[in-house]
Structure 1
Amino acid sequence: MKPSVYELDELNVESTLGQRGLESDQVSIPVIDLSDFENRREAITQALWQAATEVGFFQVKNHGIALRDIQRAFLTSEQFFALSTAKKQAYPLKDGLNAGWEFKAQVRPSTGTPDQKESYQITLPHMAGLWPEPDEVAGFQSIMLDFERQAWRLGMAILSCFADKLGFERDFLRGCISRSLSIIRVHCGCCITCRWRYYRKGTITGAPAPTRISTA
Structure 2
Amino acid sequence: MGWGKSLKVPSIQEIVRNDSKSIPERFIQEEKERPKLVSDSPEIPVIDFSLLARGDEDERRKLDLACKEWGFFQIKNHGIAKEVLDHIKTAAETFFELPIEEKNKYSMAENDIQGFGQVYVVSEEQKLDWNDMIYLKTLPVEIRNFKFWPLSCPGFKEALENYSMEIMKVAAEIYANLSVLMGLDRDGLIKLQGELKQGIRMNYYPTCSRPDLVLGMSPHSDGGALTLLLQDDQVTGLQIKHKESWVNVKPIPDSLVVNIGDAIEILSNGVYKSIEHRVITNEKKERISIAAFVNPDEHQEIGPLESMVNDELHRPRMYRKIKYIDYIRQVLTMKLQGKAHTDIVKLEIKLNLYLPILDT
| TM-score relative to the length of structure 2 | 0.46
Aligned pair in 2 of structure 1 residues 113, 128: CA closer, same or farther (>3 Å)? farther
Q: Tell me which amino acid in the other structure corresponds to 2:147.
A: G
Structure 1 position 93, deviation (Å): 1.8
Residue of structure 2 aligned with 1:196, choices 294, 304, 307? 294
Partner amino acid, structure 2, of 1:197: N
Q: Work out the number of aligned pairs and report it.
A: 187
* Larger RCO: 1 or 2 (CA < 8 Å, sep 6+): 2
Name the counterpart of 1:212.
none
Amino acid at match of 2:133: S
1:81-92 to 2 correspondences below 5 Å: 81-92=96-107
Q: Deviations over 1:120-156 (max 9, x none)?
A: 11114252411223xx311211210210111111111
CA shift in 2, pair 1:170/1:129, >3 Å: same
Which of 197, 201, 206 in structure 2 is aligned with 1:185?
Answer: 201
Check conservation: 2:113, 2:135, Cα contact below 8 A. yes
Partner amino acid for 1:122? L
> In the superposition, relative to structure 1, how do residues 113 and 171 fare at CA in structure 2: closer, same or farther (>3 Å)?
farther
Q: Which residue of 2 aligns with 1:131?
A: 149
- Structure 2 counterpart SS, 1:178: coil
**Contact 2:44/2:72 (<8 A) preserved:** yes
- Equivalent in the alignment of 2:273: none
Pair 95,172 (structure 1): closer, same or farther in 2 beyond 3 Å: farther
| Cα shift at 1:96 | 4.5
Matched with 2:334 is none
Give the structure 1 partner of residue 79 of structure 2: 64
Q: Quick one: structure 1 residues 7 and 195, their matched pair in 2 at CA, closer, same or farther if it must change by over 3 Å?
A: same
| CA distance in structure 1 between the aligned counterparts of 2:114 and 2:324, rounded to whole angstroms | 20
Q: Is the 8 A contact 2:93 2:288 kept in 1?
A: no
Whether 1:39 and 2:54 are equivalent positions in the alignment is yes
Aligned to 2:135: 121
CA distance in 2, matches of 1:161, 1:131: 33
Q: Equivalents in 1 of 2:126, 2:43: separation in Å?
A: 30
Counterpart residue type for residue 137 of structure 1 = C
In structure 2, relative to structure 1, the CA distance for the partners of 1:55 and 1:36 (3 Å cut) is closer
- Aligned identity (percent) is 23
Q: 1:77 offset after TM fit, Å?
A: 1.1
Query: Paired residue for 2:108, among 65, 77, 93?
Result: 93
Cα distance change, pair 48–108 in 1 and its aligned pair in 2 (3 A): farther
Structure 1 residue aligned with 2:166, among 144, 150, 154? 150
Residue 44 (structure 1) shift: 2.0
**Cα distance, 1:191–1:89 mapped onto 2, change above 3 Å:** same
Matches of 2:137 and 2:203 in 1, distance apart? 15
C-alpha change, 1:182 and 1:38, in structure 2 (3 Å) is closer
Name the SS of the counterpart of 2:113 in structure 1.
coil
**Structure 2: how far apart are the matches of 1:25 and 1:95?**
44
Partner Cα distance (2:53, 2:301) in 1 = 29
* Residue 159 of structure 1: how far off its partner (Å): 1.4
1:89-129 alpha-carbon deviations (Å, 9 max, x no partner): 00002344321012xx43356x9543321111111425241
- C-alpha RMSD of the superposition: 2.9
The amino acid that maps onto 1:200 is E
The structural deviation recorded for 1:178 is 3.4
Residue 8 of structure 1: aligned partner: 3
Deviation at residue 34 of structure 1 after TM alignment: 1.4
CA distance in 2, matches of 1:96, 1:25: 43
Q: Which residue of 1 aligns with 2:69?
A: 54
Q: Which stretches in structure 2 are left out of the alignment for 5+ residues? A: 7-31, 205-286, 303-322, 329-360
Whichever residue aligns with residue 130 of structure 1, its letter is: F
Q: Give TM-score scaled by structure 1 length.
A: 0.74
Corresponding residue for residue 120 of structure 2: 107
Q: Show structure 1 runs of 5+ residues with no match.
A: 1-5, 12-18, 207-216
